[in-house]
Amino acid sequence: MPHEVDESFLALPLRALADAALARARALGATHADFRLERVRSAAWRLRDARPAGSSDTTDLGYAVRVVHGGAWGFASGVDLTMDAAARVASQAVEMAKLSARVIAAAGSDERVELAMEPVYADRTWVSSYETDPFTVPDAEKTGLLAEWSSRLLAAASVAHADASLLTVHENKFYADTAGTTTTQQRVRLHPELTAVAVDPESGAFESMRTVAPPVGRGWEYLTGAGGWDWDAELAEIPELLAEKMRAPSVEAGRYDLVVDPTNLWLTIHESIGHATELDRALGYEAAYAGTSFATFDQLGRLAYGSELMNVTGDRTAEHGLATVGYDDEGVAAQSWNLVKDGTLVGYQLDRRIAKLSGFERSNGCAYADSPAHVPVQRMANVSLRPAPDGPSTEELISGVERGIYVVGDRSWSIDMQRYNFQFTGQRFFRIENGRLAGQLRDVAYQATTTDFWGSMKAVGGPETYLLCGAFNCGKAQPGQVAAVSHGCPSALFEGVNILNTTQEAGR
């Protein structure tokens, strides 16, 4: 059943504050102004060996005014929910724009802020897809479930310790601008996670294994079996898999065919495609902090990103996606578009300024601010590798490999500032011998360049292998902002990938 925006949020003086701020910005000569009021509630619970180890519950409430004045950006924020205060914040934003314009002129630049056009959306409301808001569930029920799951893991002889955590977010946002767009939105998301640790009492050696259940744009139903994940099955298999991992041999470095599960491949997509196709990065606007991109703007329509099987979309509309919205923080409607088509770079992620600057007719809705105190910046959409319509199952992919490795779950990674040279590890690695799984391996990392890796993709799984994974903690910008984002993908086969032995690489 669809939800409505919380009455307690709608009871705030949303429109009156927006009217006061936007009217002041117009009166002071702003050519564009937008107002954004947010209430973001975030809560977390942590357990160690089935006992509470910490919790938090915070709410961030405030508003922001952003203007274009004299060809420059201005921004200011406030927390005083009065009309006079909102007007003062707008005045501060205009003064900031005037100061920015002087700094830009002194630097000898003639670059002016201009925004791509976007239709007007009046009085639009959007609520994400979920059944039960986790904040309506008693805390005792949340910690009780985490404790019960932890106890299941601890009951196994192979498990010495168990950590459990749950992160939940309820986000409300009201947006209005001088063009006439007004939107009200509500999003819910959560991330449960359990980790089992095994310790050899004689040698002191240890290993860990984490659940691979992804964070989702869903509600409490995700933890009770109605959200598409079989928690009982995963918790039941972890102790045995962990014990096997403790006994597993160390990998022999060399070239292997890889079958990569979506629970691992999503992170490679995030780092080597998601960040690389943010156009502000490709143009150098993030060079001082987040880096640039090898996928430079002059290569649009020409760069061979990967094999012809590679089709990647940017998507702000995917149901249950962590980056899914109705409208972005510039009043742009959510969209889905191609980033890589048949292996060729064909698109980027854009906000309104970058779109106009680069000759695009329209933004694809990638502006986002993680709090009312921060200015919107270009952020990642749900960037996803599309499955092959009649593609094979994961088992069929494995059956076609003579000597290889099946990779499950994400762990650590490293990638350069151009998003080109990388290496990734995982939670579980299984030997593939003559088309069959033949036990686990340890100390595995796969290493490649972005184009070599995606160019080696020889088969893409079918829709039944597709899974929407992701993270809560994608970082970007100065001051730093954090955003949640999902990445969907199927299982996929990569040929001749370089495998490193991480223990040998560390000199141990």
Residue 227 predicted with pLDDT over 90: no
282 dihedral zone (left: phi>0; alpha: psi -120 to 50; beta)? alpha
Cβ–Cβ < 8 Å for 121, 181: yes
Question: Residue 366 has what DSSP assignment?
Answer: -
Reference 412, options 314, 500, 301, 304; nearest CA is 500
pLDDT band per the 50, 70, 90 thresholds, residue 505: confident
Residue 110 predicted with pLDDT over 90: no
The predicted-structure confidence for 6-33, as pLDDT tens digits, reads as follows 999 999 999 999 999 999 999 999 999 9
The predicted-structure confidence for 273-327, as pLDDT tens digits, reads as follows 999 999 999 999 999 888 999 999 999 999 999 999 999 999 999 999 999 999 9
The C-alpha angle 48, 138, 7, rounded to 5 degrees, equals 135
Phi, psi (rounded to 5 degrees) for 65: -125, 130
Cβ–Cβ < 8 Å for 44, 165: yes
Residue 442 predicted with pLDDT over 70: yes
pLDDT band per the 50, 70, 90 thresholds, residue 1: low
The predicted-structure confidence for 354-371, as pLDDT tens digits, reads as follows 999 999 999 999 999 999
Residue 226 predicted with pLDDT over 90: no
**Buried b / exposed e along 380-413 (16+ C-beta atoms within 10 A):** bbbbbbbbbeebbebebbbeebeebbbbbbbbeb
Q: Token match 């040998």: residue?
A: 504
Reference 430, options 276, 178, 257, 193; nearest CA is 257
Q: How many CB atoms lie within 10 A of CB 279?
A: 24
Give residue limits of the domains in the chain. 7-247, 254-505
What is each CA distance from 82 to 19, 275, 464, in whole angstroms? 11, 39, 52
Q: Token match 């969907």: residue?
A: 488
The predicted-structure confidence for 186-221, as pLDDT tens digits, reads as follows 999 999 999 999 999 888 889 999 999 999 999 999
pLDDT band per the 50, 70, 90 thresholds, residue 508: low
Q: Collapse the DSSP code of 382 into the 3-class scheme (helix H, G, I; strand E, B; otherwise coil) and give the result.
A: strand
CA 379 centroid distance within chain: 9
Cα separation, 469 vs 409, whole angstroms: 10
Class of domain 7-247 as given by CATH: alpha beta
Residue 347 predicted with pLDDT over 70: yes
The predicted-structure confidence for 156-179, as pLDDT tens digits, reads as follows 999 999 999 999 999 999 999 999
Cα separation, 67 vs 98, whole angstroms: 10
- Sheet (strand 336-341) strand order: 344-345, 336-341, 312-315, 382-385
